């Protein structure tokens, strides 16, 4: 009998706050569950990282938003509890989350630190109906790991992810292709995956306000106004996703990314490029630690008015070379930035693979092979003597650290320790 695909998208509810709460109660023995009071995870205000990273359900009642300054959040809720982030806890919690899911299916694909796709195709004889099993799985995660999740169920990743974003927290939703017209088309266009603010504004000028409006629009018309992106979101509006779940034999991460909230407004391109380089150093190190290569590089910018823009580009060949990632990031930045003071910069990659293919000229192939060997030599030195033992000359006596961190710094530290242990 033909097997019908069953894909789960499992998303941790308020991940950083949930993981922090579970750690404080299970490990530190604290009695107060910060998920039950108005509380947020927030960065350092002294270094201008003072924004809301995650919020509790009670905090949501005060209309506190992820990404807003802590000062604004305090005005909305004077008794707000602000907890600093513990990134090493979040990395460990994410790893345990993935490992736990692998007990039930080998086809687990981490999408981000707090999101996972699982392929449960053909497992009905083991677990029963997908909706019933999803509820049982969510309960098991809560009881075993100490936090709640949303689970979206469909026949492809796109619709499963869309479903998991429906009502939260601790909910299970389905969104199979037959349910798209009734469940997805009435939603505002901004709710569609891959529609950012720029795309949203463009679509609204074309009279497209809901996902259903987009689905009913002529595809050639969208292609004319939005190029290839128009074709992609038209497919998404119809529930069409050409991707497949990544099997266990491929790298654990589908993509690698890093971002930093800057302690001052960046107003010149040279400083921005320096920050991009520090981000690429971190991202490149993580890619090589996983023995992976990436085929897409992207850049995201948040300006001082909290407007977000992003852009990505496919590479001619998958790479693990820091400088190749940086070259592409700079090119994207030049296309994207309009001169508005910058508060946050990010570099992200996708299409991770274990295979490296070359489509460069002979000269370029030689160049990037040499740079790859140099990167690996630097990784080895940093693994033995610490990440600050080697850095590019441009960062010496510079206010910008040579490897920007956050959650990725914790991951990087773990990779370094593991890699050094394996080499001993």
Q: Is 115 a catalytic residue?
A: yes
Which is it for strands 81-83 and 39-42: parallel, antiparallel or unpaired? Answer: parallel
Q: Would you say the C-alpha torsion 213, 215, 218, 219 has a positive or negative sign?
A: positive
CB 114 within 8 A of CB 15: yes
Distance CA 70, CA 261 (A): 13
Buried (b) or exposed (e) across 109-133, using 16+ Cβ within 10 A?
bbbebbbbbbbbbebeeebeebeeb
CB 90 within 8 A of CB 410: yes
Distance CA 226, CA 192 (A): 15
Q: What is the spatial order of strands in the sheet that 257-266 belongs to? A: 257-266, 342-350, 294-303, 308-319
The set of residues, in sequence order, having a beta carbon less than 8 Å from that of 301 and lying 6+ positions away, is: 308, 309, 310, 333, 336, 337, 342, 344, 345, 346
Structure-block tokens of residue 349: 């990659």
CB 313 within 8 A of CB 336: no
Distance CA 68, CA 56 (A): 14
Closest CA to 166 of 185, 177, 178, 150: 150
Q: What is the spatial order of strands in the sheet that 39-42 belongs to? A: 52-55, 39-42, 81-83
Distance CA 123, CA 129 (A): 9
Structure-block tokens of residue 57: 């359900």
The set of residues, in sequence order, having a beta carbon less than 8 Å from that of 349 and lying 6+ positions away, is: 255, 256, 257, 283, 287, 294, 296, 297, 298, 325
**Catalytic, out of 20, 68, 109, 115:** 115
Catalytic residue set: 115
């Amino acid at each position: 009998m033909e097997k019908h695909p069953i894909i789960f998208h499992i998303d941790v509810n308020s991940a950083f706050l949930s993981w922090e709460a579970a750690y404080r109660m299970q490990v530190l023995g604290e009695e107060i569950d910060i998920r039950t009071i108005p509380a947020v995870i927030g960065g350092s205000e002294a270094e201008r990282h003072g924004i809301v990273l995650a919020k509790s359900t009670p905090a949501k009642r005060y209309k506190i938003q992820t990404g807003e300054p802590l000062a604004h959040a305090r005005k909305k809720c004077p008794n707000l509890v602000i907890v600093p982030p513990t990134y090493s806890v979040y990395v460990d919690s994410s790893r345990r989350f993935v490992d736990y899911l692998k007990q039930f299916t080998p086809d687990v694909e981490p999408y981000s630190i707090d999101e996972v796709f699982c392929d449960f195709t053909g497992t009905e004889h083991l677990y029963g109906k997908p909706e019933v099993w999803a509820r049982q799985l969510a309960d098991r995660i809560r009881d075993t790991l100490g936090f709640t999740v949303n689970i979206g169920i469909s026949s492809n990743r796109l619709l499963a992810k869309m479903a998991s974003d429906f009502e939260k927290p601790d909910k299970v939703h389905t969104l199979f292709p037959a349910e798209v017209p009734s469940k997805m088309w009435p939603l505002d266009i901004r709710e569609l995956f891959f529609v950012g603010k720029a795309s949203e504004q463009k679509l609204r000028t074309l009279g497209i306000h809901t996902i259903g409006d987009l689905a009913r629009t002529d595809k050639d018309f969208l292609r004319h106004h939005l190029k290839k992106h128009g074709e992609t979101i038209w497919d998404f509006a119809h529930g069409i996703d050409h991707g497949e779940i990544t099997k266990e034999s491929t790298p654990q991460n589908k993509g690698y990314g890093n971002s930093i909230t800057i302690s001052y407004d960046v107003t010149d391109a040279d400083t921005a490029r320096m920050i991009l380089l520090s981000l690429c150093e971190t991202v490149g190190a993580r890619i090589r630690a996983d023995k992976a290569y990436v085929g897409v590089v992207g850049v995201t910018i948040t300006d001082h008015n909290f407007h977000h823009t992003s852009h990505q580009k496919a590479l001619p060949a998958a790479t693990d070379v820091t400088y190749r990632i940086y070259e592409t990031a700079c090119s994207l930045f030049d296309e994207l930035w309009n001169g508005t003071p910058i508060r946050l910069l990010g570099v992200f990659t996708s299409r991770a693979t274990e295979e490296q293919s070359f489509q460069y000229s002979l000269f370029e192939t030689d160049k990037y092979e040499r740079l790859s060997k140099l990167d690996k030599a630097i990784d080895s030195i940093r693994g033995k003597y610490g990440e600050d033992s080697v850095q590019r000359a441009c960062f010496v006596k510079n206010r910008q650290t040579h490897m920007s961190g956050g959650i990725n710094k914790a991951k990087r530290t773990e990779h370094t320790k593991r890699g050094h242990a394996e080499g001993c």
